[in-house]
């Protein structure tokens, strides 16, 4: 009998503000411990929170981008729990009325094709500090630099049915928050982390008991953790066991999940409205202003690429994986014909991406500018250089040696496309290789390739390979 998998994701996106959500301390990553912890962040008595406009604006941008309801009035609440990296004894979050409700994210599921994942809500909250458990004479060290960093917690409906779909959703969300410039998406630094709620059931049965996998900070771990969890739950149920509601942690070394706490020990957060913060009220004017500054969204840009430059849906999706990449492509392909645009698209997603990956750079750090790449594409399109020469020009260009035209000139890479000149070389080769000519005429295709090779060699690789083929065939009759 089959099992049906039900997955929902809660994602914490760290908002890219300069200052904290309730204090004026910096949010920069990597500062010396506690140098960015203000009196508010360390919760000194009498200090009071003041809400950061930039954090609210980012939440609005998110709501607009996913077509959600943006509540004109939302409430901050205290989530009470006891932990040393939370010096107030509560986290300021939103509970009953979050700033963003509903909306959806489009993903491509390997099994269900294009689907939309509905979101439940997205709310503003503050991050906690960090506990360091290395031995400080048997004590733990507390760094409150991260305390008060603004987070948007984004909660999906339980609508994903496999680890692949969960990863596709997380990637789509990751690329969206970067696209609309509300989060830097740096997963190593914890700017984007996921909790996954996983349960299994028989088709048509009520929802099974779920377990929540906490704090997954890479797509690979998200995939592995969910796959392990599904397998474990199905095996447990098939062996006659029961699933207990629990919070679990994923251990990348063993590839397994292990229980952190059971439901009985679950936190009882005793939420209540924070009396220190009045309701967050958003005016229509502000929403309109934020809307006016929104960039075109990924789907819109990708549609534009397909229309204006004849890109395939796959090419368009690849080139809109980040705004920087899309902008790079646009400045390379703008106002050029579709042949040059196609070449730009292929070179960006091919050689350029490979080179960037190899040196662990992103597109903004590319050693080849969009204008340079376009120059290369134009010389391929007009037949000046062959694909093979283009690779050589690309490498030299990457090394910082100028524009395509300069490199072609300097290296003498110009392709010979003059039919007369190629014809002469072909004549010489035919005259010098009687045996192979005879073999070809006797039906040996291999002999033809060898003759092409001879012509290319005689031209020092500069003859246009397409023309060589054509002329050679004609002359051999």
Partner 1 sequence: MPLTSSDVKRIAHLARIEITEAETEHTLGQLNGIFKLIEQLQSVDTTGIEPMSHPLGGGQRLREDVAIDHPDRDAIMKNAPASQDGLFLVPRVIE
Taking the least distance from each CB to partner 1, the nearer of 253 and 268 is 268
SS3 (DSSP) at 258: strand
Of 7, 9, 13, 56, which lies in the binding site for partner 1, with binding defined by CB under 8 A? 56
| CA dihedral sign of residues 331, 336, 338, 340 | negative
Footprint on residues 225-254 left by partner 1 (CB under 8 A): none
Footprint on residues 253-272 left by partner 1 (CB under 8 A): 260-261, 268, 270
Of 48, 67, 69, 73, which lies in the binding site for partner 1, with binding defined by CB under 8 A? 73
**Strand 246-251 relative to strand 69-70: parallel, antiparallel, unpaired?**
unpaired
Footprint on residues 135-164 left by partner 1 (CB under 8 A): 136-144
Q: Does 132 bind partner 1 (CB under 8 A)?
A: yes
Taking the least distance from each CB to partner 1, the nearer of 9 and 42 is 42
In the complex, minimum distance from the CB of residue 392 to partner 1, in angstroms, rounded to a whole number: 48
Taking the least distance from each CB to partner 1, the nearer of 52 and 351 is 52
Question: CA–CA separation, 423 vs 201, rounded Å?
Answer: 72
Footprint on residues 83-102 left by partner 1 (CB under 8 A): 83-84, 89
Of 5, 25, 65, 163, which lies in the binding site for partner 1, with binding defined by CB under 8 A? 25
| Length of the chain (residues) | 477
In the complex, minimum distance from the CB of residue 292 to partner 1, in angstroms, rounded to a whole number: 19
Of 2, 30, 111, 133, which lies in the binding site for partner 1, with binding defined by CB under 8 A? 133
Question: CA–CA separation, 286 vs 73, rounded Å?
Answer: 13
Tell me which H or E stretch contains 260: strand 256-262
In the complex, minimum distance from the CB of residue 177 to partner 1, in angstroms, rounded to a whole number: 17
Task: Give the list of residues 6+ apart from residue 305 with CB closer than 8 angstroms, or none.
Answer: 311, 315, 316, 319, 320, 326, 329
Over its C-alpha atoms, the chain yields an Rg (Å, rounded) of: 30
Segment interacting with partner 1 (CB under 8 A) among 26-34, 101-109, 378-386, 438-446: 26-34
Number of residues in contact with partner 1, rule: CB under 8 A? 59
Footprint on residues 273-332 left by partner 1 (CB under 8 A): 273, 275, 277-281
Burial class (CB in 10 A: 0-12, 13-18, 19+), 322: middle
CA angle 287, 293, 297 (to 5 degrees): 100
Question: CA–CA separation, 214 vs 195, rounded Å?
Answer: 5
- Asked if 348 and 303 touch (Cβ cutoff 8 Å), the reply is no
Taking the least distance from each CB to partner 1, the nearer of 54 and 190 is 54
In the complex, minimum distance from the CB of residue 20 to partner 1, in angstroms, rounded to a whole number: 8
Question: CA–CA separation, 24 vs 240, rounded Å?
Answer: 55
Site residues (vs partner 1, CB under 8 A): 17-19, 23-28, 32-39, 41-42, 44, 50-56, 73, 75-76, 80-84, 89, 131-133, 136-144, 260-261, 268, 270, 273, 275, 277-281
């Amino acid at each position: 009998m089959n099992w049906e998998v039900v997955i929902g994701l809660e994602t914490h996106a760290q908002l890219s503000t300069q200052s904290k959500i309730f204090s004026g301390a910096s949010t920069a990553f990597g500062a010396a411990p506690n140098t960015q912890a203000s009196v508010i962040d360390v919760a000194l008595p009498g200090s009071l929170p003041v809400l950061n406009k930039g954090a609210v604006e980012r939440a609005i941008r998110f709501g607009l981008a996913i077509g959600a309801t943006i509540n004109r009035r939302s409430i901050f609440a205290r989530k009470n729990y006891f932990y040393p990296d939370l010096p107030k004894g509560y986290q300021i979050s939103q509970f009953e009325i979050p700033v963003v409700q509903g909306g959806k994210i489009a993903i491509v599921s390997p099994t269900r094709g294009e689907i939309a994942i509905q979101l439940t809500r997205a709310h503003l909250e503050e991050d906690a500090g960090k506990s360091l458990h290395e031995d400080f004479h048997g004590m733990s060290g507390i760094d409150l630099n991260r305390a008060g960093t603004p987070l948007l917690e984004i909660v999906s409906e339980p609508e994903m049915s496999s680890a692949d779909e969960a990863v596709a959703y997380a990637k789509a969300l990751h690329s969206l928050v970067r696209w609309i410039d509300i989060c830097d998406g740096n997963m190593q630094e914890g700017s984007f982390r996921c909790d996954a709620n996983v349960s299994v059931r028989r088709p048509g049965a009520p929802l099974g008991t779920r377990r929540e996998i906490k704090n997954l900070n890479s797509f690979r771990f998200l995939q592995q953790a969910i796959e392990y969890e599904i397998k474990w739950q199905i095996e447990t149920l098939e062996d006659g066991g029961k699933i207990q509601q629990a919070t679990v942690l994923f251990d990348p070394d063993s590839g397994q999940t292990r229980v952190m706490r059971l439901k009985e020990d679950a936190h009882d957060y005793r939420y209540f409205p924070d009396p220190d913060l009045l309701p967050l009220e958003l005016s229509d004017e502000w929403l309109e202003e934020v809307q006016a500054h929104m960039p075109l969204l990924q789907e819109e840009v990708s549609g534009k690429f397909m229309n204006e430059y004849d890109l395939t849906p796959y090419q368009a999706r690849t080139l809109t994986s980040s705004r920087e990449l899309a902008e790079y492509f646009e400045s390379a392909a703008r106002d050029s014909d579709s042949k040059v645009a196609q070449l730009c698209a292929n070179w960006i997603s091919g050689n350029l991406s490979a080179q960037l990956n190899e040196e662990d750079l992103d597109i903004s750090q590319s050693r080849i500018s969009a204008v340079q790449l376009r120059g290369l594409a134009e010389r391929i399109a007009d037949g000046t250089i062959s694909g093979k020469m283009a690779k050589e020009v690309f490498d030299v260009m990457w090394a910082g040696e100028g524009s395509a035209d300069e490199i072609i000139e300097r290296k003498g890479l110009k392709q010979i496309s003059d039919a007369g000149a190629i014809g002469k070389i072909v004549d010489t080769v035919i005259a010098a290789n009687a045996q192979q000519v005879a073999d070809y005429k006797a039906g040996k295709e291999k002999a033809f390739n060898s003759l092409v090779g001879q012509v290319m060699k005689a031209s020092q690789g500069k003859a246009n390979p397409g023309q060589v083929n054509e002329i050679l065939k004609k002359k051999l009759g």
